[in-house]
Amino acid sequence: MLKRFLIAGIVLLVIAAAVGGAFGWHIFTLVQGFKAQKNIATVSDEVAQTETWQPNFVSVGNLDPVQGADIANQVAGNVTAINFDSGQEVEKGQLLVQLDDSNEQAQLQGFKAQEKLAELNAQRSHDIFARHLIAQSDVDTADSNLKQAQSNVANTEADIAKKAIRAPFAGHAGIRNVNLGQYLPVGTVLVTLQALDHMYASFTLPEQSLPSLAKGQKLVATVDAYPNQKFDGQINAIDSKVDPTSHSVRVQGLIANPQHQLRAGMFANVSISAGKPQQVVTVPKSAVTYSLYGNSVFIIGKSKDEKDDKGQPQLVANQVFVKLGDDQGTRVAVLEGVKAGDLVVTSGMQKLHSGGDVAINNDVTPDQAQTAGAPGK
């Protein structure tokens, strides 16, 4: 009887061992399959470099003409002549619009006749007074009458001049807002006149940049209308105060505009090279993930525990937050977070999380990847 119980116990142990072994093997195969199927993101990379850069101050500003004005009439009247066309280049002093001045011209003739008579009377009075035939008061009265007549002539001539509306400076006329025969109330804008040979660029920079700024420093401006063209200029003036709210200082640049491509009201991206060249660590702009919570890059390193299918340490990408400096071309300076020699991910980071496994494939550059995925390509 004891022998039977012993045999049965051995059989149960054998069965339990077999079941446990089968279950363990199943778990082992599941783990291996999971490892084989784990997600490894394919990315491109580039080495962070040390470069010598000239410090740049970058800002966005507005363009204004060196001289610009809305030409309007000082007195009311009917338009009798228009001597310019929309979009025309006009000279300083050129007659633009003539208002009816027939009444003033008639008055002027009468005042000139009175002036001539007053002049003769004054001369006659001086001659007679020299012979002691009249009193000094008579001479003074004649001189006063002459001055009054001259004043009437000058005042009428001024009224006539106000009805001849002339260009106060040479420039480019805008669209004409007046027609022949039109009655113009006082202050009607006839045309906008802009001197376009040079333009002012008004922009602001942080107060920390003040020690590096000086009148006459070179600047380069670009505008959206001509994205591939650079316009050279220089700092024309630096404001005498710093804005206490934004802690920025207003700067005015003078930009050459010989082809009259720049127009008042345009936005301009302004770059100023200032200060001594500096050594900076740079990465491609494509390596930076920009966010309201902070800018970051993925740095590629080697895992201490995992191996890849070739038995080498598995590559992993860790996200680090960075402090950025100036940018030049396709690269940006990193002030904190990356050191020279670090491998940074330049494409494929949208598939990554910090600590994720990666494989490197630099056959497709970030630019090519963006082009391939662009609409219409």
Q: At 232, which CATH number?
A: 2.40.30.170
Number of compact structural domains in the chain? 3
- Whether residues 119 and 101 share a domain: the answer is yes
Task: From 249, 273, 297, give the residue that closes a domain.
Answer: 273
Q: At 294, which CATH number?
A: 2.40.420.20
264-295 pLDDT, tens per residue?
999 999 999 877 788 889 999 999 999 888 89
Residue 164 included in any domain:
yes
- Whether residues 61 and 209 share a domain: the answer is yes
Q: At 87, which CATH number?
A: 2.40.50.100
pLDDT confidence tier of residue 38, bands split at 50, 70 and 90: low
**Dist. CA 125–CA 325, nearest whole Å:** 85
User: Where is 250: in which H helix or E strand?
Assistant: strand 248-256
The overall average pLDDT reported for the chain is 85
53-89 pLDDT, tens per residue?
877 888 999 999 999 999 999 999 999 999 999 999 9
Task: From 128, 156, 184, give the residue that closes a domain.
Answer: 184
DSSP string, 299-312: EEEEEEEEE-TTSS
- Whether residues 88 and 61 share a domain: the answer is no
**Dist. CA 347–CA 271, nearest whole Å:** 28
Residue 300 included in any domain:
yes
DSSP string, 266-284: -EEEEEEE-S--EEEEEEE
Residue 242 included in any domain:
yes
> Which residue, among 271, 251, 259, has the nearest Cα to 200 in the 3D structure?
251
Expressed as residue numbers, the domain containing 109 is 67-184
Give the pLDDT mean for 232-247: 94
CB 287 within 8 A of CB 295: no
- Whether residues 123 and 164 share a domain: the answer is yes
Residue 190 included in any domain:
no
pLDDT confidence tier of residue 354, bands split at 50, 70 and 90: confident
- Whether residues 85 and 164 share a domain: the answer is yes
- Whether residues 81 and 172 share a domain: the answer is yes
